[in-house]
Amino acid sequence: MSDVYAQPTTGAEPDTRCHLAPYTTLRLGGVADRVVTATTADDIVRAVREADGPVLVLAGGSNVVIGDAGFSGTVVLVRSRGVRVLDEDDDTVTVRVEAGEPWDELVARTVANGWSGLECLSGIPGSTGATPIQNVGAYGQEVAETITGVQVYDRVAGTTDRIAAADCGFAYRSSIFKYSERWVVLSVDFRLGRSPLSGPIRYAELARSLGVEVGDRVPLADARATVLRLRAGKGMVLDGVDPDTWSVGSFFTNPVLDRAAYELLRERAADIGEPPAWPGAGDAVKVSAAWLIDQAGFGKGHPGPEGVAISTKHTLALTNRSGTASTAALVALAREIRDGVRSRFGVTLHPEPVFINCTI
């Protein structure tokens, strides 16, 4: 890969043959035929509509794995910014946030303004427009709890529409947007509480770190600071000098098993202890992917080819530690882990990021 990167233009005129690695948190990805930077919702729509051939919409690049062959088509870099209040009363405020608004900057702003509902999602890299796509969640909060609607460009109908939250198909790390090229997110509406206190703390680790009980509320700034500290300790806050953060965060989702599959897992794990698990919807059980990976023999720092490795801080993060690896090397490590967990426990891990021109 060349050390000299083409720079995308702003507006309708695209550059040619641009390396994509600098636009992903993994620092991986081949060359795109063309790249356009869109700074407004209208720019995004125009760039997608006028593109000749396949289109990849890319914002923060924090939840995507791009293959070494790159992308044969147009990449639209979403760089739209803006937060405006749509409605407010004594108890709530509804804001519309442009898709390119950096997520953690938005969370910091809500905390500073005394708006509760996003504080436990501090430190997550990427853009606001990406959050409804995978229903971003952490430390007991999910964006689905506060989103009221998503403004999209419908590539099939050729129209700009608003999809109400109830129609977004939100589920664990998923939505109708995640595996569909039909909709391009332009902005997101959030309804937040007007309160100096967080929502009830639901995550046991966070409650312990705050010195409170599960269900208690704490000052927004305390919740944010503690989440940032916990995430940083796991290498989950981007840091240009820390290769443990050159990742997509959690690479695998926590498996959700029906009761029979969970009992089979318990049998296969009887010699090492009870698998950490939490109740899911209905009779389902959510199991810790990090525990499965570790107990299958893939501990922190486990190496793969070309300098890729499991993070030394968290077993769920696969990192491009060398900064010079190929996507093929990362995919090989992911396959090794997936196959090893399946062989040991009979459970198949599923990746959280979106794969472009590659797969495990």
Q: Which amino acids are annotated catalytic?
A: 173, 250, 352
Q: Are 83 and 100 in contact (CB under 8 A)?
A: no
Residue 192's φ and ψ, nearest 5 degrees, are: -120, 155
Contacts of 114 (CB under 8 A, 6+ apart): 194, 195, 196, 220
Q: Are 292 and 347 in contact (CB under 8 A)?
A: yes
End-to-end CA distance of the chain: 22
Contacts of 178 (CB under 8 A, 6+ apart): 133, 134, 354
Percent of residues in the chain assigned helix, strand, coil, to nearest 5: 30, 30, 45
Q: Are 23 and 44 in contact (CB under 8 A)?
A: no
Tokens of 67: 């293959």
The 10 Å Cβ neighbour count of residue 204 is 12
How many whole angstroms separate alpha carbon 300 and alpha carbon 313?
Answer: 6
